[in-house]
Amino acid sequence: MKLKAKPLKLFAGRSIAILHKETAEKLQLHEDSRIRIKKIGEKRWVTAVIDIAEEMVKKDEIALSNDITKIIKIKRKDWVEVAVELRPYSINYINKKMQGKRLNFTEIYSIISDIAKDRLKEGEIAYFISALYFRGCDMKEIYDLTRAMINTGAVLKHKEKYVLDLHSCGGVAGNRTSPIVVSLVASAIQHLGIDAIMPKTSSRAITSAAGTADVMECVAKIVFSTAELRKILDKTKACLVWNSALNLSPADDKILKVESLLPIDTEPKLLASVISKKVADGATHLLVEIPYGNSSKFKLAEAIRLKKKFLKLTSKFGIKTKTILTDGSQPVGRGVGPVLEMLDVISVLKNKKEKLSDLENRSLLFASELLALTKEISKKDALDLCKFLLYSGRAYKKFREIVLAQGGKTNFEEKLRTGKFRKEIKAKKEGTIKAIDNKKVSLIARIAGCPGDKGAGIWLHKKRGDSVQANDVLFTIFSESKEKLDYAYRIAQQSNPFEIE
């Protein structure tokens, strides 16, 4: 059926098309049905879920949400072709996996391709994630999942000999090493004159209070085309951008969004997600951090198992990989939340004396290990070089360069604002801080508004091993809304992340 397009500046978080009731009846469509849409004369179909209206649209019209019009360029009154989207057959493969059966590449590709094309609904994707969570995958399935994710998105090619990359498996609040590592590595690359870049592409938060993309967005743009990215890399040898905008492994992003509802993380998906993104962004040398410990995602045994799988999989894709297991038993740094973590990053880069040695040491370690992976420099020399670059202010200068190349303002530091609503949580007794629970910290920060509200989050006044008196402030909760603050405060009181002994 041919209909006149009515592009709406409507943002629904999914592709929505609105049809007149009679038009929907003619097509035998019900609310929540799926349709396919393409511009007349063009080839690309997009899938959308329909809403049905009695007003708003005429019988020969179809209103389209922004998610659709950004994919197929459409102007008002352009004619579009509309067809019934059949029930995606991949749903049967999701069901097969739910029942505990192995999937082959064709079946996995069918699911991933339908997710990438928005043909599966949130609930169907949640079932797929649950099936992976409860049934697990063997190495062949994980490899196939990774390949399917790569093949359904864009793949970047770089001219440099070394394309350095970093990934942290997460689960540790405030662990924002990437901006520091990238600044260190990029200035080292220039210092050593090696043919390398570090085009770091990152995600937004999944289960945590902030992802590197959320944090960088506080000071610079993170959305760039491939051509724009190349210009930034030519200028600075590095970048810190949002991977979603580059359409690398787009299915992964859509799965992450549904995972973030609970939140939930599954090992097969974690491996496929990371490696597909790294293959797609062109990495040749990769450092993977796997934090382990109480209240982090992994216990030591799991971290060791994961490490082996990482090495096995990356070698299949020809990426030289080093994995580092780190102590993930308490948050890193002081700030948790986009703005608060950026403040930590700047403190380290500017060598401020704020007891951020954990964040600093990790960043130095990762940067030097990554540089040494190229064999152009020894580990020891790389560590010394990174220390020099950090303490001499060169790394900070490189960071500013990257921020400005990514469209940040010269006074970006002054623009950082923490949430104006805040409350302190105090110690009920004296003693020593025995533990700080990452999951509880992240939950409270998310309830306070993270990662969507940039200024929301938590500032840790105390860390493990510190002594406290009764009534000493343990942490401050920041929020941009009074309601969210109150709720976060209530949860923080019910379930305090600090354990004092």
Name the site residues for a second copy (rule: CB under 8 A). 8-14, 16, 18, 21, 27-28, 30-33, 51-56, 65, 83-84, 86-87, 91-92, 94-95, 98, 121-127, 129-131, 133-134, 258, 261-262, 264, 443, 446-447, 449, 452-453, 480-481, 483-484, 487
Nearer to a second copy, 18 or 319 (CB): 18
Nearer to a second copy, 124 or 217 (CB): 124
Q: Which two structure tokens, joined as six digits, stand for 36? A: 């396919």
Q: In the bound complex, what is the minimum distance in angstroms from residue 494's beta carbon to a second copy?
A: 10
Q: Per the residue annotation, which of 144, 253, 265, 453 is the catalytic one?
A: 265
Beta strands 46-53 and 2-7, pairing class: unpaired
Q: Which two structure tokens, joined as six digits, stand for 358? A: 């954990």
Residues counted in the chain: 501
Nearer to a second copy, 254 or 278 (CB): 254
Whether residue 265 lies in the annotated active site: yes
Distance CA 429, CA 468 (A): 8
Q: Provide the CA 135 distance to its chain's centre, in angstroms.
A: 24
DSSP letter at 147?
H
Q: In the bound complex, what is the minimum distance in angstroms from residue 132's beta carbon to a second copy?
A: 11
With vertex at residue 149, the alpha carbon angle to CA 47 and CA 114, rounded to the nearest 5 degrees, is 25
Distance CA 346, CA 338 (A): 13
Nearer to a second copy, 446 or 462 (CB): 446
- Cα–Cα separations (whole angstroms), residue 67 to 46, 71, 246, 333, 438: 10, 7, 16, 37, 35
Beta strands 457-460 and 335-336, pairing class: antiparallel
Nearer to a second copy, 69 or 177 (CB): 69
Q: In the bound complex, what is the minimum distance in angstroms from residue 327's beta carbon to a second copy?
A: 24
Q: In the bound complex, what is the minimum distance in angstroms from residue 414's beta carbon to a second copy?
A: 22
Torsion sign across C-alpha atoms 107, 117, 258, 312 = positive
Q: In the bound complex, what is the minimum distance in angstroms from residue 4's beta carbon to a second copy?
A: 17
Q: Which two structure tokens, joined as six digits, stand for 317? A: 């894709």
C-alpha dihedral (266, 269, 271, 274), degrees to nearest 10: -120
Q: Which two structure tokens, joined as six digits, stand for 1? A: 């059926």
Active-site residue list: 265
